[in-house]
């Protein structure tokens, strides 16, 4: 059982954790002895927790600097476990970027598993960085990567264990600057009470600038209030944050903004409270991706992680404009790296790590303009070394027919594709411009080249979805399995992974309603009932998790109160199915007065202000409005409901 966190409203200062340890270990601790004592105490509890190697650091290419030799310290705090966080390419990129500077030390922390959290609380030990066992409260900057809405409670766990006040209003100049970026920052409002500054877009240019700006402003203000009390320090922190808002068009500082509920209490627009706060926040954008060095010395984890391989980002952005996809909007414009840069970086990474697999990263790798040349060059270099090539994001197009031959396959492997929907008219509606003939022929070629399995990603609950669209998922999966028999003499194993559609911010569907719980439950039963081929398996995402994802991704600051309440009632690591408790979340939302039915299941009018309108994206809201209008017209032609809120079918 997890030991209770601090009571709501408690003000925790960076020095309190150290003071507690000084009482336990004796006064007069210097920083080095202090951290050594923490490491010793943590080492004593490791035999009692699962996978203790995730808490010890010291991995190949990890960087531990003497804090006395640098100007500033940054901890990249990933709000999930080590096995997930160490597989995230962006964390590794930013870690390498900041540690390449002589004047900054960048370290890492991850959400501990529940057994480790209990041990830390029982022993009154703080959550520390892996590199130097520094408590999170002692860093100058604490940066969270927001990858998944359900992981929001993990941020609170890390703040609390690290000795940092949960809410920004309780922090002083002695506390770290708490920043966040990533896809979930596209609607920052649910986490606004806990984060000082949000950044959207590319982190490489914005993170160093924000860190430097904070140190400059904070240190000057610290000198001006020397010897004054905590209230003065809180006021000075407020002034420091306002100065960041003034200087950085890419920085969203939520305390200088107010959420305005729409009529009826639904989440509405966000407006500035201070004349120096901008009405809209610009995304951070790298214009020349080639100018940003590729990561070639990634940290090699101590334990097996989700992705144990070299990751090379070949392209950022996507040339397509699928209406359901948030990434294609927020990662604009399209930028590429040269073939020579990619091959050289991959080879250097191989020599630095010894990994036996290379993964090419982008939203749609096969749309890389020099794809055939790149694959040919990589095979020439890495086939003699016994290194496998992985391309996880293949687009279904004419090129798919030749990709299996181009890649080759020396081992039995799986092909992963994302048709999203199975019928042509629905594809036109979502602007997923693919053809079934290309998909089927590409799968045939894959089977002929020693691929044995196919994994397909689909969505359920799109606006205007009909029963025949669900039937089409099964028909497509079974057709591919039969093609496998034609090519290899036995039915191919095909997995259809079906997610529940959530209308996300900054997409043309952002005005649409999410389907009801009963509809998703019926649709999942229908899919499992219709499938006949035993070689076809259907995997459906958990309905309660998807609905909660919708609440957090579409809510306002009142959802932040519910996040904290759910956390105080024991919500931990909810993206892990064995720990997720939906009832706890729904009760917390109800106790905070949030009408989840209205938030999720009522569409917005096109003229309504939305809780994320102040976070700008390339092409802006006018483009999204135009695409929404086109989608409505196509839905009308299909005979679907234009609002995307078709009455649920209950069976």
Q: What is the pLDDT of residues 496-552, one digit of tens each?
A: 999 999 999 999 999 999 999 999 999 999 999 999 999 999 999 999 999 999 999
First to last CA, the chain: 40
Q: Does residue 339 fall inside a structural domain?
A: no
Average pLDDT over residues 97-122: 98
pLDDT of amino acid 434: 84
Q: What are phi and psi of 167, to 5 degrees?
A: -100, 140
467-488 helix and 517-530 helix, angle to the nearest 10 degrees: 30
How many CB atoms neighbour CB 557 within 10 A?
19
* Integer angstrom CA distances of residue 368 from 335, 337, 342, 372: 10, 9, 12, 9
Average pLDDT over residues 609-628: 92
Find out whether 184 and 147 touch, Cβ atoms under 8 Å. Answer: yes
Q: Which pLDDT score is estimated for 509? A: 96
Structural domain contains residue 499: no
Most confident residue range from 252-261, 409-418, 438-447: 252-261
Tokens 């294609």, residue? 328
d(CA 472, CA 324): 19
pLDDT digit string (tens) for 477-499? 999 999 999 999 999 999 999 99
Q: Is residue 246 included in any domain, yes or no?
A: yes
pLDDT of residue 25: 52
For residues 146 and 150, give the distance between their C-alpha atoms in angstroms, rounded to a whole number: 10
Per-residue confidence (pLDDT) for residue 535, from 0 to 100: 97
What is the pLDDT, as a whole number, of residue 12? Answer: 40
Q: In Å, how far are 154, 466, 574 from 578, measured between CA atoms?
A: 15, 33, 8
What is the phi/psi pair of residue 248, to 5°? -115, 105
* pLDDT tens-digit series, residues 312-352: 999 999 988 899 999 989 999 999 999 999 999 999 999 99
Q: Is residue 228 part of a domain?
A: yes
Domain, as residue range, for 164? 14-55+69-272
- Helix (H) / strand (E) containing 444: helix 436-448
Q: What is the CATH number of the domain that holds 74?
A: 3.40.50.280
pLDDT digits (tens, 9 = 90+) for 453-473: 999 999 999 999 999 999 999
Q: In this structure, how many other beta carbons lie within 10 angstroms of the beta carbon of residue 239?
A: 13
Task: Give the number of residues written for the chain.
Answer: 651
pLDDT at 159: 98
pLDDT at 620: 86
Q: Report, as an integer, the average pLDDT of 374-384.
A: 94
Residue 619 in any domain: the answer is: no
The mean pLDDT of 415-430, rounded to a whole number, is 90
CA angle 118, 120, 121 (to 5 degrees): 65
**Residues with Cβ within 8 Å of residue 152, at least 6 apart in sequence:** 79, 184, 190, 191, 552, 563
Listed range (94-108, 220-234, 241-255, 352-366) with the worst mean pLDDT: 220-234
Predicted confidence band at 117 (pLDDT cuts at 50, 70, 90)? very high
For 344-396, the DSSP string reads HHHHHHHHHH--SEEEEESSSGGGSTTHHHHHHHHHHHHGGGT-EEE---B--
Verify cis geometry, omega within 30 degrees of 0, for the bond prior to 310.
no
DSSP β-ladder status, 315-316 and 335-336: antiparallel
Confidence label for 580 from pLDDT (cuts 50, 70 and 90): very high
101 pLDDT exceeds 60? yes
Kindly indicate the confidence band of residue 160, based on its pLDDT and cuts at 50, 70 and 90. very high
Q: In this structure, how many other beta carbons lie within 10 angstroms of the beta carbon of residue 468?
A: 12
Structure confidence at residue 35 (pLDDT): 85
CA distance readout (Å), 135 to 44, 57, 146, 475, 605 = 17, 14, 21, 54, 47
Q: Radius of gyration of the chain from Cα atoms?
A: 25
| 361 touches 311 (CB < 8 A) | yes
pLDDT band at 407 (very low <50, low <70, confident <90, very high): confident
Complete edge-to-edge strand list for the sheet that includes strand 251-252: 104-110, 72-78, 141-145, 177-181, 197-199, 251-252
Pick from 46-60, 207-221, 361-375: least confident: 361-375
Residue 612 has pLDDT above 90, yes or no: yes
Q: Across the chain, what does the average pLDDT equal? A: 91
Query: What CA dihedral angle connects 466, 468, 470 and 472, to 10 degrees?
Result: -140
**The pLDDT of residue 26 is above 70:** no
The answer to whether position 120 is within a domain reads yes
Q: Work out the percent of the chain whose per-residue pLDDT is above 70.
A: 92
Per-residue pLDDT of 255-289, as tens digits, reads: 999 998 877 778 899 999 999 999 999 999 999 99
Residue 547 in contact with residue 599, Cβ under 8 Å? no
| Structure confidence at residue 366 (pLDDT) | 85
- φ/ψ of 605, rounded to 5, equals -75, 155
Is 497 part of any domain? no
* φ/ψ bin of 604: left (φ > 0), alpha (ψ from -120 to 50), beta (otherwise): beta
pLDDT at 20: 61
| Residue 40 falls inside a structural domain | yes
3-class SS of residue 150: helix
pLDDT greater than 60 at residue 4: no
Predicted pLDDT at 10: 46
What pLDDT was estimated at residue 412?
Answer: 55
Under the banding of pLDDT at 50, 70 and 90, the label for residue 641 is very low
**Confidence bin at 644 (pLDDT 50/70/90):** very low
Q: How confident is the model at residue 636 (pLDDT cuts 50, 70, 90)?
A: confident
Angle CA(285)–CA(253)–CA(546) in degrees, nearest 5?
75
pLDDT at 635 (0 to 100): 87
* Tally of domains in the chain: 1
The model's confidence at residue 5, banded by pLDDT at 50, 70 and 90, is low
């Amino acid at each position: 059982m997890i030991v209770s966190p601090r009571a709501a409203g408690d003000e925790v200062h960076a020095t309190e954790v150290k003071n507690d340890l000084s009482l336990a270990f004796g006064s007069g601790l210097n920083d080095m002895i202090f951290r050594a004592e923490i490491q010793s105490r943590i080492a004593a509890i490791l035999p009692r927790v699962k996978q203790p190697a995730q808490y010890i650091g010291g991995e190949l290419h990890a960087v531990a600097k003497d804090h006395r030799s640098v100007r500033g310290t940054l901890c990249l705090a990933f709000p999930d476990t080590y096995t997930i966080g160490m597989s995230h390419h962006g964390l590794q990129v930013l870690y390498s970027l900041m540690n390449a500077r002589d004047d900054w030390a960048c370290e890492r922390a991850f959400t501990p598993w529940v057994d480790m959290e209990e041990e830390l609380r029982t022993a009154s030990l703080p959550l520390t960085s892996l590199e130097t066992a520094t408590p999170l409260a002692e860093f100058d900057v604490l940066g969270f990567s927001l990858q998944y809405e359900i992981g929001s409670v993990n941020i609170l766990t890390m703040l609390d264990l690290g000795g940092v006040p949960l809410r920004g209003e309780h922090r002083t100049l002695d506390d770290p600057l708490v920043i966040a970026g990533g896809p979930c920052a596209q609607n920052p409002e649910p986490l606004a009470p806990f984060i000082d500054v949000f950044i959207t877009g590319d982190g490489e240019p914005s993170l160093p600038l924000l860190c430097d700006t904070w140190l400059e402003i904070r240190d000057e203000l610290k000198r001006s209030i020397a010897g004054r009390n905590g209230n003065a320090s809180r006021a000075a922190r407020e002034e420091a944050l306002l100065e960041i808002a003034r200087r950085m068009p890419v920085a969203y500082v939520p305390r200088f903004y107010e959420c305005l509920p729409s009529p009826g209490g639904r989440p509405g627009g966000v407006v500035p409270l201070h004349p120096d706060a901008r009405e809209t926040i610009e995304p951070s954008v790298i214009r020349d991706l080639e100018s940003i060095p590729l990561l070639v010395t990634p940290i090699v984890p101590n334990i097996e992680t989700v992705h144990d391989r070299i990751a090379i980002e070949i392209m950022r952005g996507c040339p397509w404009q699928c209406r359901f996809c948030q990434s294609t909007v927020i990662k604009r414009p399209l930028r590429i790296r040269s073939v020579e840069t990619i091959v050289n970086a991959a080879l250097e990474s191989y020599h630095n790590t010894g990994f036996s697999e290379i993964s090419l990263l982008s939203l749609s790798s096969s749309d890389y303009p020099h794809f055939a040349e790149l694959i040919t060059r990589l095979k020439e270099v890495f086939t003699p070394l016994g290194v496998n090539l992985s391309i996880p994001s293949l687009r279904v197009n004419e090129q798919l027919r030749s990709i299996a031959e181009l890649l080759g396959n020396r081992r039995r492997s799986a092909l992963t594709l994302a048709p999203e929907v199975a019928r042509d008219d629905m594809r036109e509606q979502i602007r997923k411009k693919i053809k079934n003939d290309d998909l089927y022929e590409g799968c045939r070629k894959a089977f002929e080249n020693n691929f044995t399995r196919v994994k397909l990603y689909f969505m359920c609950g799109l606006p205007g979805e009909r029963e025949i669209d669900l039937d089409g998922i099964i028909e497509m999966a079974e057709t591919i399995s039969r093609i496998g028999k034609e090519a290899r003499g036995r039915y191919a194993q095909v997995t259809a992974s079906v997610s529940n559609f959530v209308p996300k911010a900054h997409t043309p569907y952002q005005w649409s309603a999410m389907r009801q719980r009963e509809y998703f439950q019926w649709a999942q039963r229908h899919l499992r009932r219709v499938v006949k081929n035993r070689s076809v398996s259907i995997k459906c995402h958990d309905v309660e998790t998807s609905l909660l994802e919708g609440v957090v991704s579409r809510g306002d600051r009142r959802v932040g109160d519910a996040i904290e309440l759910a956390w105080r009632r024991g919500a931990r690591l909810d993206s892990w199915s064995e720990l997720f408790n939906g009832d706890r979340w729904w009760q917390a939302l109800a106790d905070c007065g949030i009408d989840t039915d209205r938030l999720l299941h009522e569409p917005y009018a096109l003229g309504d202000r939305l809780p994320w309108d102040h976070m700008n994206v390339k092409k802006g809201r006018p483009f999204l409005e135009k695409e929404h209008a086109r989608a409505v017209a196509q839905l009308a032609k299909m005979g679907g409901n234009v609002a995307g809120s078709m009455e649920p079918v209950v069976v």
